[in-house]
């Protein structure tokens, strides 16, 4: 997520299921409108401090993080009190009634989190529980977010039957590295002009041809 410090004009960020715990790198993303952070390791709602000055943020998906706690109402009210411009939170539309109630039931966040308290207070069980969700559920969510990014880039959506190689059961290091590289590339592509995109297309085409040639030789 640290790459976001170098992407002030990014509009959509998808980092679900990535072990993220710190939202400070998002502080300068002034054009950010959609942020997907489901199933990470965000331990404190004080991390919202870094999102309060993002004027265009309208969609936030933060569920299944330790910071959500055991009280869904308190969690939602606190998020809405600090981010009153949200139109959708955790895939649920925000109402005017909720925004009014948030001023009463929500907690105002005025300072960033104390990293020492976050580390000592983060429940280990939350991380363990995050791995128990069914593969189909995680796959559907990952596919949805991937296709949202592809739509932003003017690309065709990925069919479900072509997405099997991204199974969430592949927890090895190589998979995490590949996904991090892919996310970084997709984010950086939004910063390129036409000339830059053409260079990427040419390079990707040559790389794809080489991979196909290698597969044919192995067969």
| pTM reported for the whole predicted model | 0.57
Q: Using DSSP, state whether 12 is helix, strand or coil.
A: strand
**Where do the structural domains in the chain lie, given as residue ranges?**
2-105, 178-218
CATH homologous superfamily, domain 2-105: Ribonuclease Inhibitor (3.80.10.10)
Least trusted range by pLDDT, from 38-42, 101-105, 210-214: 210-214
What percentage of the chain has pLDDT greater than the value 90?
36
Per-residue model confidence (pLDDT) at position 115: 65
The answer to whether residues 8 and 31 touch, using CB atoms and an 8 Å cutoff, is yes
Query: What DSSP assignment string belongs to 90-146?
Result: TTEE--HHHHHHHHHHSPPP-S---HHHHHHH--HHHHHHTT-S-HHHHHHHHHHHH
State residue 165's pLDDT score: 39
The number of helices, as runs of H, and strands, as runs of E, in the chain is: 7, 5
Give 110's Cβ-side CA count (13 Å radius).
2
Predicted pLDDT of residue 195: 83
């Amino acid at each position: 997520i640290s790459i976001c410090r170098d992407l002030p004009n990014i509009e959509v960020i998808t980092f679900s299921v990535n072990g993220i715990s710190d939202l400070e790198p998002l502080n300068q993303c002034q054009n950010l409108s959609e942020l997907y952070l489901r199933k990470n390791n965000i331990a404190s709602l004080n991390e919202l401090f870094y999102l309060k000055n993002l004027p265009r943020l309208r969609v936030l998906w933060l569920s299944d993080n330790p910071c959500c706690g055991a009280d869904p109402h308190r969690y939602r009210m606190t998020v809405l009190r600090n981010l009153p411009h949200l139109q959708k939170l955790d895939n649920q539309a925000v109402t005017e009634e909720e925004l009014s109630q948030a001023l009463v039931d929500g907690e105002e966040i005025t300072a960033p989190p104390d990293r020492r308290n976050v580390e000592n207070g983060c429940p280990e069980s939350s991380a363990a529980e995050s791995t128990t969700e069914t593969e189909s559920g995680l796959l559907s969510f990952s596919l949805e977010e991937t296709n949202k990014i592809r739509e932003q880039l003017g690309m065709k959506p990925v069919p479900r039957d072509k997405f099997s190689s991204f199974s969430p059961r592949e927890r090895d290091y190589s998979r995490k590295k590949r996904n991090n590289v892919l996310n970084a590339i997709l984010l950086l592509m939004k910063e390129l002009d036409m000339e830059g995109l053409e260079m990427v297309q040419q390079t990707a085409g040559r790389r794809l041809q080489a991979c196909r040639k290698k597969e044919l030789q192995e067969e």
